[in-house]
Structure 1
Amino acid sequence: MSDVVVVDGPESFLAALDRIELLGDSLPVFHGWPKFDVKVDGDRYNGTLTPKLMSGLVEFQDQLLRTYAEIRYGSSSIGKLSAADKADLEIVLAITKGSTNGQGPLDGVLNKIISALPMNKMSGGNVTALLIVAVLCLAGYMVFSGWNQADLEKAKIASVERQSSTQAMLIGKLADALASKNLPPEAVAIKDRAAEGYRSIVAGAPDATSMDIQGEHFNADELEKIRTQEPLPKSRKERREDVYIDMVKRHPDYLSLTLRLPGSDYTFPGRVDLSKFDQAKVNRLFDSLRDSSPIRLFHYSSEQKGRILRTDVIAVDDVTVGQANTAP
């Protein structure tokens, strides 16, 4: 059994990433790091919280709850969470004077979220990428950076010029993870949730003269640009195709699937609503998993930039097969 690796700072996190392959099923446990760290400057922000900024902080908290609900229960509804879940995911902030500087521990929140991630079904590279994105994006690192390669490279160069060597290494790791073509869909979802949460904080301080998030400085013009940014559009598509099932997890009312298209290493989560799915064909899903054979499914996917983020499996698609068998 692998020893527990405790991460209590950026240096030990970088060291843990280098040892991921050696940890087996054991994942790092966070203690005292990272911390939520947002500093707001402006005439009305002197150790005080306006109602609008408070609302932004509440929305950030809600995004953390939705992140966990989506990973653990397959739904972003906060109503899926128990009182214990909500308590474990709650951030307690300390507000300091001179500016409105909110700080609070994120270690317990991250341990809770990471424990729900399907790490044991992923390759070492995907585990590393997902861990980097989950930890650093939720902590606010590079949270508003673009996804394209040029922007990520600019962020890496800027971090080297302006930050400590450790900070620059963290940014470099995150930029490389975000640029990966096989980034797990859970990482994409976490990145999006983190961005929306921090954008809500920015929107909650419309008259702030500047803001610092995890040491990254944003002036008034940059903050206004962030407020007006629209989230990347997502689309829903009807799909009928062969897929491989890499994992099935049974819940009382639904099945959680890890799916993969033929010829691809990229996996995405699927959900089967057992109240609507043909019960006579449920076993065919398990047969496909057991035999490592493709199965043709009818499903509705949520996609962003051509990438399937998640999907709802409606049925085993026998229509095409039946038509083929009756063809002359």
Structure 2
Amino acid sequence: MAEDKIVLTGIEHVFELIKDSSINDIGNLDFSKWPNLHITIEGDKYHGTITPELAKSLYDFVYQLKRGYAEIKYGTSNLQRLRKKDEALFDSITFKISEGSSDVISKGLERIFEAIAQAIKDGFKDMTPRQKIATIGLVVLIGAGYFAFDSYLDHQHAQEMAQIGNEAQNSAYAHTERMAELVAEVSGAGARADQAISGFRRHVEEGHRNIVHSVSDADHINYSGQSLNEVDIQRITHEMPVTADSETFTEIVTVEQMKRFVSRQEVRVSFYAPHFDRQITIKYDMGYLGAKKENRLMEAFSDNVRKAVEIEYSAVFNDDNGDFIRGTLISIGDVYDSPADWSDDLEDLDDEVE
């Protein structure tokens, strides 16, 4: 019933709920008042109008949000896991364009946020009510773009946010300070939460950055409260092309190279990709795969002259020429000792791609 709902009014309200020791059940959270995605774009081309590039990037944002939602609810970004009721949520998202400078205001995100909150309440069984509220707050604020362009998030894993300490007091880390508080509450909730949040952030922040890239000629952007000047816009969009399409592939490959970047908490994997007909490099966050799947990957790589491995990965590619731009490793399947063991499977996978 409506009277049982907690109508959220802002980020401070989230912290009030976290600190309320009397809360044993977080009830139904109502996102109708807060937050939404609100972008104000100033520049010669942006006076109550929307360019084709911006329209395309808004579509891509919804697509990436859908993948992030799948990470939270089903533990994978594979959109085939979504049900009809999940898909229907995203049909409700629209964007209102106002006069003057181009104000882009989302409509319908509250339904997505409510579904995400329910998925966290139902699916993360080991969390305390405080941890669930913090996780919901963290994910929703990422979805609304509150932390999309923090310099810290550009280079570090989300779960390291609680370690920034005094750096968060610097004005350059204003958004990060709040992120760190939420992550501190969530920490220790388990690998399931860590992987889900990391996956959600990876997909949704890509959508946010693509929006900014689509208006890279703007003079100024206010992005959900973050003020971005021309220098900021160029920094965010440097070598970050707006991508037209994204898809999940399952292929049997021979791993040619693995590199760990501890400072970024990520691993990069290189292999020849049959779909793109060239060698590509994809990445994943350290700890994301889990020990069992990482051991399979290492087994295939350590003896890569004769072993192959089935991988699932998401790839972003240019729809003009179909060329691969970047990708993320999702899962590891079986390891095969010789080509004879996996040739039939490879033919089946080729048929699925076609």
Assess same fold via TM > 0.5.
Answer: yes
Partners of 2:36 and 2:105 within 8 A in 1: yes
- Give 1:19's aligned residue: 20
How many residue pairs match? The answer is 246
- Give 1:133's aligned residue: 138
Q: Which amino acid aligns with 1:101?
A: D
1:159–1:225 Cα change, 3 Å: closer
Q: Please tell me whether residue 194 in structure 1 is matched to residue 204 in structure 2.
A: yes
- Give 1:176's aligned residue: 181
Q: Aligned with 1:140: secondary structure?
A: coil
Q: Aligned with 2:217: secondary structure?
A: coil
- Give 2:236's aligned residue: 226
Q: Please tell me whether residue 116 in structure 1 is matched to residue 126 in structure 2.
A: no
Matches of 2:311 and 2:131, distance apart in 1: 25
Matches of 1:268 and 1:29, distance apart in 2: 33
Partners of 1:5 and 1:16 within 8 A in 2: no
RMSD: 4.0
Q: CA shift at 1:225, angstroms?
A: 0.8
- Give 1:95's aligned residue: 97
Q: CA shift at 1:93, angstroms?
A: 1.5
Q: Which amino acid aligns with 1:206?
A: S
Q: Please tell me whether residue 34 in structure 1 is matched to residue 27 in structure 2.
A: no
Partners of 1:185 and 1:269 within 8 A in 2: no
Q: CA shift at 1:130, angstroms?
A: 1.7
Q: Which amino acid aligns with 1:192?
A: R
Partners of 1:270 and 1:313 within 8 A in 2: no
Matches of 1:116 and 1:135, distance apart in 2: 12
Partners of 1:270 and 1:312 within 8 A in 2: no
1:30–1:18 Cα change, 3 Å: farther
Using the TM superposition, name which of 184-193 and 218-227 deviates more: 184-193
Q: CA shift at 1:181, angstroms?
A: 5.6
- Give 2:53's aligned residue: 52
Partners of 1:4 and 1:28 within 8 A in 2: no
Matches of 1:57 and 1:66, distance apart in 2: 14
Q: Aligned with 2:125: secondary structure?
A: helix
Q: Aligned with 1:24: secondary structure?
A: coil
Q: Which amino acid aligns with 1:111?
A: E
1:121–1:40 Cα change, 3 Å: same
Q: CA shift at 1:54, angstroms?
A: 0.7
1:207–1:8 Cα change, 3 Å: same
Partners of 2:38 and 2:104 within 8 A in 1: yes
Partners of 1:30 and 1:111 within 8 A in 2: yes
Matches of 1:184 and 1:31, distance apart in 2: 27
Q: CA shift at 1:99, angstroms?
A: 1.0
- Give 1:305's aligned residue: none
Using the TM superposition, name which of 101-110 and 116-125 deviates more: 116-125
Partners of 1:20 and 1:128 within 8 A in 2: no
- Give 1:43's aligned residue: 44
Q: CA shift at 1:111, angstroms?
A: 0.8
What residue ranges of structure 1 are gaps of 5+ in the alignment?
A: 161-167, 238-265, 273-298, 303-308, 316-328
1:115–1:123 Cα change, 3 Å: same
Matches of 1:87 and 1:20, distance apart in 2: 36
Q: CA shift at 1:191, angstroms?
A: 2.0
Q: CA shift at 1:157, angstroms?
A: 3.6
Partners of 1:17 and 1:128 within 8 A in 2: yes
What residue ranges of structure 2 are gaps of 5+ in the alignment?
A: 242-263, 271-286, 294-309, 314-328, 336-354
Q: CA shift at 1:311, angstroms?
A: 5.4
Q: Please tell me whether residue 158 in structure 1 is matched to residue 171 in structure 2.
A: yes
Matches of 2:141 and 2:51, distance apart in 1: 27
Matches of 1:33 and 1:212, distance apart in 2: 17
Deviations 1:37-72 (CA, angstroms, capped at 9, x unpaired): 111111111111100011111111111111122333
| Aligned sequence identity (%) | 24
1:124–1:153 Cα change, 3 Å: farther
Q: How does 1:317-328 map to 2 (within 5 A)?
A: none
